Amino acid sequence: MPEVKLIPEKWVDRYGDYLFNFTISRVNDAVIAQDLVSETFLAGLKSAHRFKGNSTERTWLISILKRKIIDHYRKINSNKGKAEVRMSYLSSSDQEGDWMEEQAADLRNPNVEDVIEQRELGQALEECIACLPERYATIFVQKTIDNLETETICKEHNITASNLWVIIHRARVQLMECLNKKWHKNN
């Protein structure tokens, strides 16, 4: 395997959208997602000397991001604990119990299941994209998600249009197989 070198100058363009998508499906807040992506890049920069080149840049950044997301939820949970203690002191108010209704999903809404299913499918797809060879993943994301022109992608990667379609086709076949295993198995 060729040695992988970190190029932090290109991180935002190369992985920004992918990491943002990965994060937003897990935290459901654009501002928090942006902060987490930003923190991930900074953490990556700080620990760049520890990068051994055994994985690709993207895999390495995703592993940092996953830890950031876990930390984010730990933080929220510790704050929630404090809030719940406060709630118990104020429980005599007329609005007792309202907070629960605000937090609970509206199960009468028929779209809730669809939304959850879409989110789970999205997460499964992201995991499958992460398993693709880096070049395949980048080109697939650029064409399918970012909707970039074929010519633009070909220029960036220095490939012909027919090479691009072969790569996209292979990526799609691998993704379909991966989704069949991950997603359809669980449903």
Partner 1 sequence: MSRFFINCDQASILSTRGQYGDLNPKEAFRHKLHKGHCISCRSFHKNNERFQRALKGLKWVSLTIAQKKSIRKCLSEAMMK
Residues that bind partner 1 (CB under 8 A): 8-9, 11-13, 16-17, 20-21, 24, 30, 34, 37-38, 41-42, 45-46, 118, 121-122, 125, 143-146, 150, 165-166, 168-169, 172-173, 175-176, 179
Beta strands in 44-119 (DSSP E): none
With respect to partner 1, which residue has the nearer C-beta, 7 or 102? 7
DSSP for 112-160, written as a single string: HHHHHHHHHHHHHHHHHHHHS-HHHHHHHIIIIIS---HHHHHHHHT--
Smallest gap from Cβ 107 to partner 1, in A, equals: 21
With respect to partner 1, which residue has the nearer C-beta, 20 or 66? 20
Smallest gap from Cβ 20 to partner 1, in A, equals: 5
With respect to partner 1, which residue has the nearer C-beta, 34 or 63? 34
With respect to partner 1, which residue has the nearer C-beta, 70 or 173? 173
**3-state SS assignment for residue 178:** helix
C-alpha 143/C-alpha 171 separation (Å) is 11
Smallest gap from Cβ 108 to partner 1, in A, equals: 22
DSSP secondary structure letter of residue 55: S
85-89 long-range contacts, CB within 8 A, separation 24+: none
C-alpha 50/C-alpha 34 separation (Å) is 24
Smallest gap from Cβ 145 to partner 1, in A, equals: 5
Q: Which of 21, 20, 60 is nearest to 43 (CA)?
A: 60
Smallest gap from Cβ 183 to partner 1, in A, equals: 9
With respect to partner 1, which residue has the nearer C-beta, 130 or 179? 179
